[in-house]
Amino acid sequence: MKQLATLFATVGIMCGHAAEQALAVEPVSIRVGSVAEFDAAVKQLRPGSELVLAAGEWRDAELRFDAQGTPEQPITLRAEVPGATILTGSSRLHIGGNHLVVSGLWFRDPVTSKGDVIEFRRDSKQLAHHCRLTECAISAAKTSAPDTTEAKWLSLYGSRHRVDHCYFAGKTSAGTTAVVWLGGEPEGDHLLEHNHFGERTRLGKNGGETIRIGDSKTSDRSARCTIADNLFEHCNGETEIISNKSCDNLYTRNTFLECEGTLTLRHGHRAVVDGNWFIGHGRKLTGGVRLIGEDHRVVNNYFGGLAGEEFRCAITFMNGIPETPANGYQQVRRAVVAFNTIADCRHPFMLGLADNSKATLPPADCLIAANVVYCPQSQLAEAPSDSSGVRCVGNVVQTKSLGIDLGDGIQALPFTMAAGADRLWRASSPLPAAAKLPSEVALPLVDIDGQPRAAHPQPGCDESVDALIRHSPPSHNTTGPSWWKD
């Protein structure tokens, strides 16, 4: 019996090896010119394969890219010529699988009557993970027919996706341009980097955000998304350019250029806003950061030429609602706003703005430290509510007036700033080191330019040192697809 068992085991092992060899199919490269050919080809894809969409117009094409790659051998769906595979009408793309890459596609003048343009899921039960969208574009021309359907252009489900070097511009219909959806497991951990988010005209109501991470129902979840090195240009859909509605997200090294709104920490906690450029050039309604919730950090940022007020000040602390519902306003608690530079802005600080009569909880246990404010024609701060929960330490200012008493943490020193050829304001001479700061202010290791900070750093976002500049404001040259031409 032992010999027979050994024989069966040996046969089983041999059959297993044969099965593995049968499955070890070589990667393939398949060029397709129709949806029918695409559907047939998807079934043949193995790790390392690529599926090439022929150049030309693909109208009303519903593509389901459902495949299983590996970390070492992702599966790629790409345009035959980057930017020359143009999907029009009600074309849609579902990315449903693992370790997939989509590259070089252009969705032009999309019609969203059938739903979102690109979804990182096959359906509600099969979400994507570890996928990448790169060198792609979704755009609508001003002359295109109006799209009255409320839908998103990009919906991220699942976990650990990367969206990079893409272009999104021209959306006029209701619905956020790009949304991160939470509610599944695992979820979040997405990276959106080096994208160009172009013009979005005023919608006139809610739903015109450029990016939303989460929603009120899932705002207590940790999304852990990173929004980095992107250009947001003329994103004017509504007050919220970005709507943070989840926890533990990072916003870093982005440019917000002449956008009529703010990066709004609408729901959730522990967001970090670090090393961004908010540039208004005096344009009406341009704003900076709006805070709601707990334990946020706004550090190392540049706010220049912003002309917004109330909800669109350079930095706005909102009031909270007692026992607030999920879609209401949580009290701002333990926020740290430090080492920022605010220059030539009409309304630098708003402390305790109430959205409605129920919002009666002013900011509490908050710290404003080591910031530089150079707004000679403006009042430093406005406080419609009790501002005693905001403590100031080591801030250096040149303003027309203080507006309210913020204690001895405000120093009116005789310094000047000037705008350079790049229209960014910088101190005309180095500022003295910041005062000794409380322990909750973690001293930054680098400034907004990526230059090392001194052991006793200067206030504001810019350290005056002779060192290599590693970060500059993202621009047309550093964001979006390499093939895109305006």
- DSSP letters spanning 112-145: -TTS-SEESBSSSS-B-BS-EEES-EEE--TTSP
Q: What is the pLDDT of residue 249?
A: 98
Q: CB–CB of 197/171 below 8 Å? A: no
- Name which CATH class applies to 55-427: mainly beta
21 SS3 class: helix
Give the pairing of strands 297-299 and 240-245: unpaired
Domain ranges of the chain: 55-427
d(CA 246, CA 100): 26
Q: Look at residues 137, 125, 136 and name the one whose alpha carbon lies nearest to residue 66.
A: 125
Q: Look at residues 184, 230, 224 and name the one whose alpha carbon lies nearest to residue 211.
A: 230
Q: Look at residues 445, 362, 433, 434 and name the one whose alpha carbon lies nearest to residue 393.
A: 434
pLDDT tens for 297-338 read 999 999 999 999 999 999 999 999 999 999 999 999 999 999
Confidence of residue 26 (pLDDT cuts 50, 70, 90): confident
The answer to whether residue 186 scores a pLDDT higher than 90 is no
pLDDT tens for 401-411 read 999 999 999 99
The answer to whether residue 208 scores a pLDDT higher than 60 is yes
What is the value of pTM for the model shown? 0.94
d(CA 57, CA 92): 13
Q: CB–CB of 322/355 below 8 Å? A: no
d(CA 456, CA 431): 12
Q: What is the pLDDT of residue 148?
A: 83
DSSP 41-69: HHTT--TT-EEEEPSEEEES-EEEE--B-
Q: What is the pLDDT of residue 25?
A: 67
Burial status of residue 189 (CB atoms within 10 A of its CB: 0-12, 13-18, 19 or more): middle
431 alpha carbon, distance to own chain's centre: 32
